[in-house]
């Protein structure tokens, strides 16, 4: 390729690359839009922390943070495009005319149109396209009330019991635009209708190819909502809620839901577990059995971490431990995964074995722990590269029941040394 000298004023002062979309700031300096917007975003976060004004990268003069005040430099863009075309034979790529971002007033009109049943589907389609386009559009839509409009649309669909066409877009827009701001939290933290609407979507049998997609989006929205919900809402969740989360984990339901939704269901169970009587509700929904079954055929690290975390929570109560011990593979799967997945699963595994050995250590349980290798694995934890508190917990379990495991060669070695 022939070496070409690029005019200096074609280059962005930040990226030092040919500008694709030159814009001029109030300080009179021209930058490539992508570079100056990224710089303003980064510096804005630092300036807020340090209470300093945003400055121009070149002149160091104070300048507003609003990217809408960046003025497109059409003349320079045309010069750059003409130069690129003239030098195409020398390997210079042509720069296409940029698509300018939509202004806030137009986005506000689109959000308001969601409440008009005659044009709501078209408005949702346009908003969906804007959300996917770039991060700036997401932020702008959040500012003009997109979350409130999506909540209203989803709840209205639920109350009218209509799975209308725009529901998929509304759920996706909610999840992609969502940020845990005070305004958004106020909309959802006590919103029982929104929880009911999501459960209704998950229960619905849709005769189309989008069933998995819609239900996955519904689970993502549910996760966003649960993370900021009030203790009052979380404590008051009905058994049906947990039954639906457990149904998602069942192997026979996998063709109705995605792996991503399965992980979200696990995270939702973790987030709701500590509140009120939720542990007992989760146990009563059959979660312990399904969690063990899920782990038996699981090969994904993150799923194992989530499953072990929930089991550790549930084994702190008597009915949870009872259900865990009813499953023939309960102790075995915990033993097998220990020291094989991650430090998170190791931590939870020791918690589970500790709860079992402390509160449910019948003769049969202790024999089972020895038979499936749990005792040997505890001995391995002591000599493995684990946290000291895990080693101490493993040693405590071994010492507590050394009388029952005295015939185990590994126990004899550890206590003789």
Q: Where in the chain is the domain with CATH 3.30.40.10?
A: 8-90
CB 256 within 8 A of CB 221: no
- The stretch 15-36 carries a mean pLDDT of 91
Give CATH for domain 8-90.
3.30.40.10
CB atoms within 10 A of CB 228: 17
Which pTM was predicted? 0.77
Q: Quick one: tokens of 38? A: 């990224």
- The stretch 281-291 carries a mean pLDDT of 96
pLDDT digit string, tens, across residues 362-379 = 999 999 999 999 998 998
**Which of 280, 269, 225 minimizes the C-alpha distance to 247?**
269
Cα distances (angstroms) measured from residue 363 to each of 239, 336, 405, 411: 34, 21, 11, 17
Question: What is the CATH topology of the domain spanning 100-201?
Answer: 1.25.40
Q: Where in the chain is the domain with CATH 1.25.40?
A: 100-201
The Cα diameter of the chain in Å comes to 88
* The pLDDT value given to residue 197: 94
pLDDT at 397 over 70: yes
Query: Reduced to 3 states, what is the DSSP secondary structure of residue 358?
Result: helix
* The pLDDT value given to residue 38: 84
pLDDT at 64 over 90: no
Cα distances (angstroms) measured from residue 147 to each of 91, 199, 225: 46, 19, 11
Q: How large a percentage of the chain has pLDDT more than 90?
A: 59
Q: What would the DSSP string read from start to end of 296-359?
A: HT---HHHHHHHHHHHHHHTTSHHHHHHHHHSTTHHHHHHHHTTTS-HHHHHHHHHHHHHHHHH
d(CA 224, CA 404): 48
pLDDT at 185 over 50: yes
CB atoms within 10 A of CB 153: 25
pLDDT digit string, tens, across residues 113-138 = 998 888 898 999 999 998 988 788 88
Which of the residue ranges 41-50, 161-170, 228-237, 403-412 has the most confident prediction, judged by mean pLDDT? 228-237
Cα distances (angstroms) measured from residue 296 to each of 192, 201, 307, 375: 35, 29, 11, 20
């Amino acid at each position: 390729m022939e070496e070409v000298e690029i005019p200096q004023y074609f280059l962005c002062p930040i990226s030092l690359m040919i500008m694709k979309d030159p814009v001029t700031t109030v300080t009179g300096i021209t930058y490539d839009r992508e570079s100056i917007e990224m710089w303003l975003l980064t510096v804005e976060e630092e300036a807020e922390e340090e209470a300093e004004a945003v400055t121009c990268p070149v002149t160091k003069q104070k300048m507003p943070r609003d990217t809408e005040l960046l003025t497109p430099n059409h003349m320079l863009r045309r010069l750059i495009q003409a130069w690129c075309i003239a030098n195409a034979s020398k390997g210079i790529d042509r720069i296409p005319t940029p698509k300018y971002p939509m202004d806030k007033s137009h986005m506000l009109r689109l959000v308001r149109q969601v409440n008009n049943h005659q044009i709501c589907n078209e408005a949702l389609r346009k908003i969906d396209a804007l959300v996917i386009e770039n991060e700036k559009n997401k932020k702008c839509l959040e500012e003009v009330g997109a979350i409130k409009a999506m909540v209203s649309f989803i709840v209205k669909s639920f109350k009218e019991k209509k799975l209308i066409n725009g529901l998929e877009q509304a759920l996706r827009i909610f999840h992609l635009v969502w940020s845990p701001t005070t305004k958004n939290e106020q909309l959802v933290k006590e919103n029982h209708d929104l929880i009911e609407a999501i459960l209704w979507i998950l229960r619905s049998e849709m005769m189309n190819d989008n069933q998995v997609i819609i239900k996955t989006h519904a689970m993502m929205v549910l996760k966003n909502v649960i993370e900021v919900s009030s203790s009052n809402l979380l404590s008051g969740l009905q058994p049906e809620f947990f039954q639906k989360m457990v149904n998602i984990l069942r192997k026979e339901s996998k063709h109705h839901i995605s792996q991503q939704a399965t992980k979200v269901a696990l995270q939702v169970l973790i987030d709701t577990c500590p509140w009120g009587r939720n542990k007992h509700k989760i146990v009563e929904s059959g979660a312990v059995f399904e969690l063990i079954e899920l782990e038996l055929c699981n090969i994904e690290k993150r799923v194992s971490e989530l499953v072990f975390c929930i089991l550790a929570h549930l084994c702190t109560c008597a009915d949870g431990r009872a259900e865990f011990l009813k499953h023939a593979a309960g102790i075995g799967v915990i033993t097998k995964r220990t020291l094989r997945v991650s430090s998170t699963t190791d931590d939870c595994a020791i918690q589970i074995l500790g709860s079992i050995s402390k509160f449910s250590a019948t003769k049969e349980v202790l024999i089972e722990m020895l038979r499936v290798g749990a005792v040997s694995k505890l001995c391995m934890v002591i000599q493995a590269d684990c946290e000291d508190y895990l080693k101490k917990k493993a040693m405590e379990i071994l010492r507590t029941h050394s009388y029952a495991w005295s015939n185990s060669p590994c126990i004899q070695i550890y206590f003789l040394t």
